[in-house]
Amino acid sequence: MAGTGVRGLAQPPALDVGAVKPDAMINLWPGDPPGTPTLLPQEAVQDRSRDPAAPDRALLHIARPRLALFRAHRPNGAAMLVMPGGGYNYVVIDKEGYEIGPWLAARGVSVFVLFYRLPQEGWGAGADVALSDAQRAMRLIRHRAPTLAIDSRRVGAMGFSAGGHVCADLATRFATATYHSVDAADALSARPAIAAPIYPVVSMHRPEAHEGSRRNLIGESPTAAMERRHSPHENVGSDSPPCFLVHAEDDSAVPIANSLLLRAAWRAEGLAVESHFFAEGGHGFGLKRASGKPAAIWPELFLHWMAAQRMTGNG
């Protein structure tokens, strides 16, 4: 496990409080993250739940981007990079990270939950800073794959809400240079084998845009070029990976139009895309909050799709 590697950072808050504990915490960068600001964000955990049985914490002001590793119980070789949401204002810990991690790990898939930096906190990469962390995470997972019972060809990406935007951004701009190489891991591809944006933020254009994510990512008055650059449906290429989409029709936070735009863009390129749209589910349902709703079936559908994509086989 790496050291903090970030100047002036006080002891970071513990993220393994409670019954769910990652098997390891892996720093993304060997030293200061690229473009470290003079005034470093001071990390904090916000507890947003009043129910001890349903923890809902958020990590704010991320100064040390890192991966929480949940090792597969009986590894099948597959791994998923998971990016929780938070409107680019924070990164949620539990409902879209520490819930999905153990669930997939129990089914043979190693999981790396990414706590990515936030674009409005002075980092040199600006609006590309979360993408930088996602690219670095994919490369680092592949670099370490031989020691973790992972097939480097079978590393996918999943994201929720704003984390779904990071996921879709990675799937469409994985080859975009957002930072300078720091070590041997950066020689590896950042392209995920599959991408699963779940109720994702996609468009930066109004009226489809999620206003909070848009403001935090590209500011109050972005140029048209900035809106296009950070709208993944406008950056899909012929080399984008197979895509799995989930959204609820009654999502009042992030309109389902975001997933429809992404689906249309994937289909326009002739790429594989599987879409599941549910009448009920709202926003931010993750795993547990979908219980009793039509959207509750999505994790099983995803497992079947993973198998169809040869992600969970032995070859």
Q: Which two tokens mark 315?
A: 């070859």
pLDDT (0 to 100) of residue 59: 97
Query: What is the average per-residue pLDDT within 212-222?
Result: 97
The total number of structural domains in the chain stands at 1
Residue 297: pLDDT over 90? yes
Query: What is the average per-residue pLDDT within 9-18?
Result: 68
**pTM metric for this prediction:** 0.95
The pLDDT > 90 percentage for the chain reads 88
pLDDT (0 to 100) of residue 288: 86
CB 141 within 8 A of CB 135: no
Query: What is the average per-residue pLDDT within 208-221?
Result: 97
Residue 16 in any domain: the answer is: no
Residue 106 in any domain: the answer is: yes
Q: Mapping DSSP to helix (H, G, I), strand (E, B) and coil, where does residue 191 land?
A: coil
Written as one letter, the residue type at 208 is E
pLDDT (0 to 100) of residue 4: 44
Residue 125: pLDDT over 90? yes
Residue 16: pLDDT over 90? no
pLDDT tier at 129, thresholds 50, 70, 90: very high
Cα–Cα nearest to 161, from 234, 279, 254, 241 = 254
Residue 71 in any domain: the answer is: yes
Q: Which two tokens mark 249?
A: 């029709």
pLDDT (0 to 100) of residue 2: 41
- The enclosing domain of 181 has a CATH number of 3.40.50.1820
Give the Cα separation of 150 and 141 in Å (integer): 9
pLDDT (0 to 100) of residue 290: 86
pLDDT 10s digits, 141-187:
999 999 999 999 999 999 999 999 999 999 999 999 999 999 999 99
Residue 148 in any domain: the answer is: yes
Residue 5 in any domain: the answer is: no
Give the Cα separation of 91 and 10 in Å (integer): 19
pLDDT 10s digits, 70-80:
999 999 999 99
Which range marks the domain in which residue 286 is found? 25-30+41-308
Residue 199 in any domain: the answer is: yes
Residue 301 in any domain: the answer is: yes
Q: How high is the mean pLDDT of the chain?
A: 94
How far is C-alpha 44 from the chain's CA centre?
20
Cα–Cα nearest to 97, from 69, 73, 125, 72 = 69
pLDDT tier at 49, thresholds 50, 70, 90: confident
pLDDT tier at 315, thresholds 50, 70, 90: very low
